[in-house]
Amino acid sequence: MAKSLRTQFMDYMVLNRFSPWTIKNYMDTMTRLAKYYNKSPNLLTQKDIQEYLLYLLNERKLSWGTCNTHLSGLACFYRNILKWDERKFKLPPRPRVKKLPNVLSVEEVKKLFESAANIKHRVFLKTVYSAGLRTGEVVRLKPRHIESDPSRMMIRVEQGKGSKDRYTVLSKHLLDELRIYWQKYKPGKWIFPGYNKENHLGYTAARDTFKKAKKKPV
């Protein structure tokens, strides 16, 4: 029995070691596209896809950063699953807009930590800041990734950006905070679990931790 397009796309991303975050977002992109036209993606034309992209930009008012995720998902599906070539599938170029990064001052970072709802949220934010981790990296940390031997003091990041493993620094202050947090919560499999301890903290919940702390007055 032939596999569905959805299964083929999922299998392709898993075999090519795409991150769970990327797989989820690419699958969501194709689901939304199919619902928008109420037909299978393989029945759409280049014109249909361009009109959908204009809908995202002009009507839904999505940022270029969000649209870029949709663009990447569409390109991955049509080029690798339906085998459209470059002449048939073209993406509009992303405008080059130079923006300075929003860098928090030391005082702002301190206030952010103090505004965290609880110890778990505070240590989560400190881990992101101190170790320089991305959201998708910090939520997937396990106890074995914390190498606390005095001769090491490293955090192992598995399958980070580009599906690459790397090490980052583990400060003495962060290690002390992690130990206090561990003694109180005893999280188990994941350092930062979700409501179900068998699963790690979700990406949306992780981002909400930052947003809530940022908005909360100290």
- Percentage of residues in the chain with pLDDT exceeding 90? 26
Predicted confidence (pLDDT) per residue in 125-135, tens digit? 999 888 888 88
The pLDDT value given to residue 117: 80
Per the prediction, the chain carries an average pLDDT of 83
- As given in the structure block, the two tokens for residue 182 are 């561990």
- What pTM was estimated for this model as a whole? 0.56
Is the confidence at residue 99, as pLDDT, over 70?
no
> CA-to-CA distance for 153 and 175, rounded, in angstroms?
9
Identify the band that residue 203 occupies on the pLDDT scale cut at 50, 70 and 90: confident
Q: List the domains of the chain with CATH numbers.
A: 5-80 (1.10.150.130), 106-215 (1.10.443.10)
What confidence score (pLDDT) does residue 34 get? 93
C-alpha span between 18 and 159 (Å, rounded): 9
User: Which pLDDT score is estimated for 86?
Assistant: 62
**Residue 175 binned pLDDT confidence (cut-offs 50, 70, 90):** very high
pLDDT at 95 over 70: no
